[in-house]
Structure 1
Amino acid sequence: MNDIFKALNDATRREILELLKEKDLSAGEIADAFNISKPSISHHLDILKRADLITSEKNGQFIIYSINTTIMEDVLQWILTFKK
């Protein structure tokens, strides 16, 4: 769970998740939405992947990223356990 909160603690990574909420995207498409270097985007994607917040699938020469809705649901369920 610590990896998840570490990943969510960064505004860029939260924005990446917002983009992926709309549709699956390649790393290049994600990078085009930001004014930061592609290696920085790759670093953010790696952190999101290690936290299982996103998944990736090779499609030809591209890697397509998707949001992992299962882990997001698990996090939400965990948060809801604190509700009185």
Structure 2
Amino acid sequence: MSATLVFKALSDPTRRSIIELLKKQDMTAGDIAEHFQMTKPSISHHLHTLQNAGLVLSERKGQHIIYSLNTTVFQDIVAWMLTVSGKEKEK
């Protein structure tokens, strides 16, 4: 997990909205795109950024690619933040 990639991915409001959608259910890129007024290639770019950060997983099912949240990375980030926070309190 690269914290830099995770925080960069989370810095964009569109990507945070995609995460909110995927929190409710796994979706295809087309399903996700229906919630935004932008091109499908733009949505694909956002999904690619989220995948590079490890926040989103993809699985091919037939002709479709299903996207889902990778909750393990979120747990790792929270644990890392708690560690950093604890070190600050020790000073």
With normalisation by structure 1, the TM-score equals 0.96
Which structure's residues are more often helix, by fraction? Answer: 2
* Cα displacement (A) at 1:48: 0.2
Gaps of 5+ in 2: none
- The match for 1:48 is 50
Measured against aligned partners, the alpha-carbon deviations of 1:27-79 in whole angstroms (never above 9, x if no partner) come to 00000011111010000000000000000000111000000000010001111
Q: The residue matched to 1:33 in structure 2 has which SS?
A: coil
- How large is the Cα RMSD of the aligned pairs? 0.8
Question: Among the aligned pairs, what percent are the same residue?
Answer: 55
The partner residue of 2:18 within 12, 16, 19 is: 16
The partner residue of 1:57 within 54, 59, 72 is: 59
Q: The residue matched to 1:75 in structure 2 has which SS?
A: helix
- Write the mapping of 1:19-30 to structure 2, written as runs, cut at 5 A: 19-30=21-32
After TM superposition, the runs of 4+ consecutive aligned structure 1 residues lying more than 4 A away are none
Q: Give the number of aligned pairs.
A: 84
In 2, the alpha carbon distance for the partners of 1:21 and 1:78 equals 21
